[in-house]
Structure 1
Amino acid sequence: MYKFLAVCGFGVGSSLVLKMSIEKAAKERGVECEVENMDLSSAKGTNADAVFTSQELGDELKTATKSPVYPIQRYMDKEEVGQALDDFLG
């Protein structure tokens, strides 16, 4: 089972929307995962298989975590989130 993070500045609101999109995209692909939404500073200290976040926070997270970081522009766009998930799954 994979562990994914949905990250936004404060860990509420947009990261919750992103979390739901990741869960939907994963379910469509038959991928078992646990998705946590959290704020930027918490994400820096959390181990995960992959991190999904905004373009703005992506660069900061790439230097602060060992996990692959996938910037998402439209959190509600299941296609864009699904593409990032496909990239992760390789």
Structure 2
Amino acid sequence: MSELTIQAICGFGVGSSTLLKIKIQGVLKEMGIEATVFTGDISSACGAACDVIFTSSDLAENLQGRVHVPIVIIKSFVNQKEIKEKLQAFLENR
């Protein structure tokens, strides 16, 4: 399996997405998975090369039909347990 590339998306691509990126990186480290995680906003998400997008439900609605990768909806960007569960589910279905 090639290295995983994850994009964390928020409204402006700075604050919340950076927090989500840090949490995702923590989960990946805990799981022993090598991956690239980067941030973006709603407009950059459509053109960025990645394997999966992690974002909120409202932004996921805006991305539906505009991106060609799975979108993982995170309710709480600070909930490491939720992020881990959803990352594991994505990897199992990949």
Report how far residue 62 of structure 1 moved: 2.7
Check the 8 A contact 1:12/1:37 in 2, yes or no.
yes
Distance 1:61 1:30 in 2: 29
| TM-score, scaled relative to structure 1 | 0.95
Structure 1 counterpart of 2:75:
73
Structure 1: tracts of 5 or more residues without a match: none
What's 1:32 paired with?
34
Kindly state the Cα deviation for residue 58 of structure 1 after the two structures are TM-superposed.
0.8
Deviation beyond 6 Å, 4+ runs, structure 1: none
Which whole-Å deviations, capped at 9, do the CAs of 1:17-42 have from their partners, x for residues lacking one?
Answer: 00001101111111110100111100
Normalising by the residue count of structure 2, what TM-score does the alignment of the two structures yield?
0.92
Structure 2: runs of 5 or more not aligned:
none
The percent of aligned pairs where both chains have the same amino acid is 38
Computing the radius of gyration from Cα coordinates, the structure with the larger value is 2
User: Number of paired residues?
Assistant: 90
CA RMSD of aligned residues (A): 0.8
